[in-house]
Amino acid sequence: MSTTVFRRTLASRLTAAASATAARRTTVLPGSLRTLTTSPATRSGNPPMSFPCIDRLETRQRTLAGGPEPTYEKVVTGYKLYHHATPFVLDHGGVLPSFDLAYETWGTLNSDRSNAILIHTGLSGSSHAHSHEGNMKPGWWEKFIGPGKAIDTDRFFVICTNVLGGCYGSTGPGSVDPQSGARYATTFPLLTVNDMVRAQFLLLDSLHIDRLHASVGASMGGMQALCAAALHSSRVGRTVSISACARSHPYSIALRFAQRQALMSDPNFNRGFYYDGVAPHVGMKLARAIATVTYRSGPEWELRFGRRRRAHEQPPMLCADFLIETYLDHQSESFCLQYDANSLLYVSKAMDLFDISHSVTDRLRRTREAAAQQLQQTGAACDQAGVCMTPGEQPEECSVAETREEITRDLVEGVRHAMQPTLVLGVQSDVLFPVAQQREIADILRQAGNTNVTYYELDAMYGHDTFLIDVVTVGAAIKGHLENTL
């Protein structure tokens, strides 16, 4: 084709496109934050698709513009507060002038204060693991805790906290910064799983508990349990780590990154400063939908939903049509205003950064100590990025180990003090934390010299959420480990 013919053809196409654009009509939806552009129905012999899911989102958006406010600050009641009144320096160099840690307890602390069990939560868990007089609503681990249950409150004094960075009573991005009088939002400093655990041990200090009978957790809680065993080894008697890892792997990081991207793409996110406006409801809903896919398994959904549609006699639609889609839509909608979006960002990022390797732990310690020294000398924290380095020093983003052998040696060195009797549980259908990651925990502990490591691999179909559902198998394993006389 000659240049002249090509130009005429291109001009013809551009003219046609411009004509089509001019023919479109633009409608402003009442109360909507956007405009809807459609083509006249006369241009097609097919009727336009309906989008009831988008209609519902827009209706919800209009409702949120005038209230109600997100409910996460009211989800949990009846907790106690530990207040740490002095500055708390974090692993990446940031500083909290003070912090609160929400916690709840069950059972009775014995006379020598040796029967305490600390339960660590997952990403969005609150301190309300079990019901009590102050809050009779069933807790997130209701069937596992209580008299005679897996964690027996007739024998143990049980403590559960909402992690630092959360939004259920503990200090997090939604809390008021005492220095500015405004909410932290995304001025909240980056934190690590190690920071969460250090805050919990400060709570234990306030309760005059020198040594735990056990540190127990699943998912991110399993990371915390391993961290407690490795970094506070003299204060932990036994460890239970369920569906967790010794270091976050790329697949899990990618899944959480996708959630954060969906959340931050919501126009109402406003770089985290949304507390005086509309909450990023749509972004949170999408993030939760992605998360829910990672929490369960294909075999379970095959049995529960199969390929059934909500209304098989109706034509297919682009909105929720299959039962599995309606399930995801319901689950994500029910969650999206019950957890703070910024907490999701910060806590999930802490999960991504988790690595019990010696080199990583040592680097974080040095960064924290440098920040603490600067705070003591100048009364000021490190810069906003949390950087406290001498000129020319370069930050290490991850373990310096490269080969499989080097990575393993680094991990083994990281848990060299974790000699407690340890129970590690993995679930074969877990796609978020595949069983290879739990095997890795057991392997590095044994290579470090721990001769009392028990590893169970469960053939359950509930995926990552098995630790919330399988009371019989998971509960029996926990109970046996906690009550076994060594």
- Catalytically active residues are 219, 430, 464
Q: Do 111 and 87 touch, CB atoms closer than 8 A?
A: no
> C-alpha distances in angstroms, 142 versus 138, 219, 266, 463, 468?
6, 17, 34, 19, 9
Look-up: residue for tokens 């996460």?
Answer: 72
| Residue length of the chain | 486
Residue pair 245/440 in contact by the 8 Å Cβ criterion: yes
Six-digit token string for 7: 């130009």
User: Residue 152 pairs with which residues in a beta bridge?
Assistant: 146
